[in-house]
């Protein structure tokens, strides 16, 4: 039997006295798209950041493709080459053009030649529909375009796994669609994605599994139709109810 | 509290100096004047240092004084004929007379300008090389690196530059070592006191520059480094390829102030016998007793240097500008 692509095994994390993750365990296979939902402060971002070790865990273990990546002797830069990340507030490199954003990692991390990096950079900008904006600086792009560049930047490293931390929460409602469309395309291409998002349309149509995180624990984990239509736990039902009301109000 | 107020007041003062200079630089006339000034300097230095005085003997002006003196005396003649109404002409005659009296001193002052420029440029450039790691240590270093960098900046910003010059010149064997080096004190290479001054200005300016760069680095959002690390760059690489290119752009306005200050403070080097512009003017004045002419001239030359620096920094700022980033947009 082959290893899962990602496995979290009883992960704990506290900030001071505040326990943020308490015994999180779950697995993803290659090609899966898992969507994490949960109230604000429930530890969703922390969980993602533990996977590429922007945050260090206190105990437990995380495995990528069978290798434990939370060992002290793991090369974190090597790990991060394999795990791309897309941020809520984009974090595009403000001094670089769209193309520059996508090629920086290719040049400085992968050591590619300038021309080869450019070629690959254009490919990924095309993948997110922004070939015509290659020479624009972040300040010249709309929020939706920025996030698509952010996705292209992560894709360019050919990661085994892409992490998304609320990729559409900072966007004006009319710009959410273009980003979700790109994410759907990626899902269809078989790219493995772990997505923190409350975009229900995306979760229903693209997710293999939904993970409901509350108070640093995985309360429920299952395919979208089951989790959305027949949640087993009261906390899940309650949260989904609140989410729907918010959605209708908003 | 007192120190802080003073700090911000002097920073604001510096900004005004540069803002005014920048207003000047918007005028094509200023650009023309600066161009003429530098053309003269370059020809003068080439003639004196490289061509061994083949255009005009060293110390001899390019411009004959006789026609200017003639113009001055003509003008005062006209003024006398016009009686009360000749006042404007009398002023003009005075001005032209001043120019005529000044011209003979220009060649020696140009040598002083050379030393001032060399001193300022070396101080700011070497200082920058130290300031960048210093400011990175302040922002990203661990407790120990941070305190060492802080101690350095406080020491050099907290004591008078003049005291630093004196300590390095009189209390350390630095000048003795430098004197032994080949070429020191020959041709266009200034004598050892100059190099001691370069060391002092470097160390001092590094402290001030690092303050400007530090606060600029702090204004780069934290997410920039996080994003850099998320694609597999190490912290050092992230600082180098992502934080610094942005931070240094933010630092340009403050850094330009430091350049302007250094041009003016370089005159302190005269206290340790460096024959920079101020010392040169002072030396000629005490021989000729033409104090007014010489210090007004020296002042004008400093002003020309400061305006040149502002012009240069404005150009640099424009050249490296990136939409939405940094200086012009803020
Ligand atoms: N760097 C940090 N230092 C201290 N506390 C933190 C830090 N990051 C997150 N937290 C705390 O951890 C909890 C979970 O945060 P987070 O993972 O961002 O939740 P979510 O993404 O689900 O909103 C919050 O209470 C937050 O205040
Ligand atoms: Mg979050």
Residue B259 forms contact with A (CB below 8 Å)? no
Query: Judging by DSSP bridges, how do beta strands A18-28 and A6-15 pair with one another?
Result: antiparallel
Neighbours of B289 (CB within 10 A): 10
Number of domains in chain A: 1
Q: What is the 8-class DSSP label of residue B325?
A: B
Partner-chain residue, chosen from B226, B233, B322, that has the shortest CB–CB distance to A54 = B226
Cα–ligand 1 centroid distance for A14 (angstroms): 9
* Ligand whose nearest atom lies closest to the CA of A166: 2
Q: Is the model's pLDDT at B5 over the cut of 70? A: no
DSSP symbols for A181-213: HHHHHHHHTT--EEEE---HHHHHHH-SEEEEE
Residue B80 falls inside a structural domain: no
ipTM field: 0.94
CA terminus-to-terminus distance, chain A: 46
Count of helix runs (H) and strand runs (E) in chain B: 14, 0
Partner-chain residue, chosen from B223, B232, B245, that has the shortest CB–CB distance to A95 = B245
C-alpha to C-alpha distances, B47 to A174, A194, A212, B50, B116, nearest whole angstrom:
69, 71, 81, 6, 18
Output the pLDDT for position B326.
65
Chain A nearest CA to B202, separation (Å)? 29
Between CA B312 and CA B25, with CA B249 as vertex, the angle to 5 degrees is 25
If pLDDT is split at 50, 70 and 90, which confidence band does B24 have? low
Residue B43 falls inside a structural domain: no
Ligand 1 atom with the shortest distance to the CA of A166: 21
pLDDT tens for B167-216 read 999 988 888 888 888 877 777 778 888 999 999 999 999 999 999 999 99
Residue B184 falls inside a structural domain: yes
Residue A92 falls inside a structural domain: yes
Half-sphere exposure of A230 (CA within 13 A, CB side): 4
Residue identified by tokens 């929460």 is A169
Secondary structure element (H or E) that encloses residue B236, with its range:
helix B235-238
Question: Using an 8 Å Cβ cutoff, are A21 and A50 in contact?
Answer: yes
Angle (deg, nearest 10), helices B291-320 and B87-102? 80
Residue A1 falls inside a structural domain: no
- Which residues, 6+ apart, have CB-to-CB distance to A132 below 8 Å? none
Verify whether the Cβ–Cβ distance B232 to A154 is below 8 Å.
no
Between CA B231 and CA B235, with CA B233 as vertex, the angle to 5 degrees is 130
Question: Using an 8 Å Cβ cutoff, are A198 and A222 in contact?
Answer: no
Candidates A95, A112, A165, partner chain B, best to mutate (most B CBs within 10 A) = A95
Range of the domain at A181: 6-249
If pLDDT is split at 50, 70 and 90, which confidence band does B26 have? low
Residue B149 falls inside a structural domain: yes
Cα–ligand 1 centroid distance for A47 (angstroms): 10
Partner-chain residue, chosen from A78, A94, A108, that has the shortest CB–CB distance to B233 = A108
Residue identified by tokens 């080096």 is B181
If pLDDT is split at 50, 70 and 90, which confidence band does B93 have? confident
Q: Which of A20, A24, A196 to mutate to test the pocket of ligand 1 (most atoms within 8 A of CB)?
A: A20
Residue A18 falls inside a structural domain: yes
Candidates B220, B221, B230, B252, partner chain A, best to mutate (most A CBs within 10 A) = B230
Q: Check if A231 has its Cβ closer than 6 Å to any atom of ligand 1.
A: no
Residue A181 falls inside a structural domain: yes
If pLDDT is split at 50, 70 and 90, which confidence band does B70 have? confident
Residue B92, burial from CB neighbour count under 10 angstroms (0-12, 13-18, 19+)? middle
> What CATH number did the domain enclosing B315 receive?
1.10.3720.10
Dihedral of the alpha carbons of B282, B286, B292, B294, in degrees to the nearest 10? -40
Q: Give start and end residues of each alpha helix (H) in chain A.
A: 44-51, 76-82, 98-108, 114-127, 143-155, 173-188, 200-206, 224-229, 234-249
* Ligand whose nearest atom lies closest to the CA of A36: 1
Give the residues across from B325 on adjacent strands.
B322
Output the pLDDT for position A26.
93
Selected residue with higher pLDDT from A172 and B89: A172
Token code pair at residue A185: 């395309």
What residues of chain A lie within 8 A of the CB of B319, using their CB?
A: none
pLDDT tens for B228-244 read 999 999 999 999 999 99
pLDDT tens for B134-151 read 999 999 999 999 999 999
If pLDDT is split at 50, 70 and 90, which confidence band does B325 have? confident
Residue B84 falls inside a structural domain: no
b/e code B119-130 from CB counts within 10 Å (16+ = b): bbbbbbebbbeb
pTM of the shown model: 0.87
Q: Check if A169 has its Cβ closer than 6 Å to any atom of ligand 1.
A: no
Output the pLDDT for position B23.
58
Output the pLDDT for position A81.
93
d(CA B137, CA B134): 5
Q: Check if A40 has its Cβ closer than 6 Å to any atom of ligand 1.
A: yes
Q: What is the mean pLDDT of residues A22-50?
A: 96
Q: Is the model's pLDDT at B15 over the cut of 50? A: no
As a whole number of angstroms, the longest Cα–Cα distance in chain B is 84
d(CA B229, CA B21): 41
> What CATH number did the domain enclosing A155 receive?
3.40.50.300
d(CA A64, CA A52): 10
Which strands form A6-15's sheet, in the order they lie side by side? A18-28, A6-15, A59-64, A67-68
Q: Is the model's pLDDT at B153 over the cut of 90? A: yes
Cα–ligand 1 centroid distance for A89 (angstroms): 16
Token code pair at residue B12: 């604001």
List the residue whose alpha carbon is closest to atom 2 of ligand 1: A15
If pLDDT is split at 50, 70 and 90, which confidence band does B68 have? confident
Q: Is the dihedral of CA B294, B295, B299, B300 positive or negative?
A: negative
Residue B63 falls inside a structural domain: no
Residue B282 falls inside a structural domain: yes
Token code pair at residue A246: 């918010």
Picking from A63, A44, A81, the residue whose alpha carbon sits closest to that of residue A194 is A44
- What average pLDDT does the structure give for chain B? 86
Partner-chain residue, chosen from A89, A138, A157, that has the shortest CB–CB distance to B232 = A157
Residue B36 falls inside a structural domain: no
Dihedral of the alpha carbons of A199, A205, A209, A213, in degrees to the nearest 10? 10
Q: Is the model's pLDDT at A192 over the cut of 90? A: yes
Question: Using an 8 Å Cβ cutoff, are B223 and B206 in contact?
Answer: no
Chain A nearest CA to B314, separation (Å)? 19
Q: Give start and end residues of each alpha helix (H) in B46-86.
A: 66-82
Number of domains in chain B: 1
Residue identified by tokens 């299952």 is A222
């Amino acid at each position: 039997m082959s290893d899962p692509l990602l496995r979290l095994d009883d992960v704990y994390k506290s900030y001071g006295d505040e326990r943020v993750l308490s015994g999180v365990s779950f697995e993803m296979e290659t090609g899966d798209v898992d969507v994490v939902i949960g109230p604000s402060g429930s530890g969703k971002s922390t969980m993602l950041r533990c996977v590429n070790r922007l945050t260090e865990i206190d105990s437990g273990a995380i495995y990528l493709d069978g290798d434990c990546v939370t060992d002290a002797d793991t090369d974190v830069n090597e790990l991060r080459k394999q795990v791309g990340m897309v941020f809520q507030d984009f974090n595009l490199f403000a001094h670089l053009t769209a193309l520059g954003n996508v090629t920086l990692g290719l040049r400085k991390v992968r050591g590619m030649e300038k021309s080869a990096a450019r070629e690959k950079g254009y490919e990924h900008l095309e993948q997110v529909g922004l070939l015509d904006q290659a020479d624009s600086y972040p300040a010249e792009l709309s929020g939706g375009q920025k996030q698509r560049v952010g996705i292209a930047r992560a894709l360019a490293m050919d990661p085994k796994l892409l992490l998304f931390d609320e990729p559409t929460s900072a966007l004006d409602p009319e710009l959410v669609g273009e980003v979700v469309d790109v994410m759907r395309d990626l899902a269809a291409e078989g790219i493995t994605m772990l997505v923190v998002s409350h975009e229900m349309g995306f979760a229903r149509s693209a997710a293999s599994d939904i993970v409901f995180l509350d108070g640093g624990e995985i309360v429920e984990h299952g395919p979208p139709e089951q989790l959305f239509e027949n949640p087993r736990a009261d906390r899940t039902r309650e949260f989904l109810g609140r989410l729907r009301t918010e959605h209708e109000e908003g | 509290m007192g120190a802080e107020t003073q700090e911000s007041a002097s920073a604001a003062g510096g900004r005004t100096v540069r803002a005014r200079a920048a207003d000047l630089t918007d005028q094509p006339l200023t650009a023309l004047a600066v161009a003429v000034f530098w053309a003269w300097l370059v020809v003068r230095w080439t003639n004196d240092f490289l061509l061994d005085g083949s255009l005009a003997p060293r110390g001899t002006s390019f411009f004959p004084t006789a026609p200017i003196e003639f113009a001055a005396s003509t003008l005062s003649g006209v003024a006398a004929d016009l009686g009360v109404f000749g006042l404007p002409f009398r002023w003009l005659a005075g001005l032209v007379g001043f120019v005529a009296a000044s011209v003979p001193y220009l060649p020696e002052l140009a040598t002083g300008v050379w030393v001032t420029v060399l001193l300022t440029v070396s101080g700011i450039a070497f200082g920058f090389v130290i300031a960048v790691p210093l400011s990175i240590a302040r922002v990203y270093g661990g407790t120990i690196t941070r305190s060492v960098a802080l101690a350095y900046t406080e020491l050099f910003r907290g004591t008078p530059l003049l005291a630093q010059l004196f300590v390095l010149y009189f209390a350390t064997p630095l000048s003795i070592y430098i004197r032994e080096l080949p070429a020191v004190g020959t041709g266009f290479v200034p004598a050892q006191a100059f190099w001691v001054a370069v060391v002092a200005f470097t160390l001092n300016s590094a402290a001030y520059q690092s303050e400007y760069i530090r606060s600029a680095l702090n204004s780069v959002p934290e997410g920039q480094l996080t994003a850099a690390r998320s694609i597999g760059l190490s912290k050092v690489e992230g600082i180098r390829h992502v934080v610094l290119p942005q931070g240094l752009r933010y630092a340009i306005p403050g850094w330009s102030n430091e350049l302007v200050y250094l041009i003016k403070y370089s005159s302190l080097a005269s206290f340790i016998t460096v024959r920079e512009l101020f010392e040169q003017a002072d030396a000629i004045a005490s021989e000729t007793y033409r104090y007014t002419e010489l210090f007004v001239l020296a002042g004008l030359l400093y002003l020309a240097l400061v305006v040149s620096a502002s012009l240069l920094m404005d150009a640099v700022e424009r050249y490296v500008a990136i939409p939405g980033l940094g200086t012009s947009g803020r």
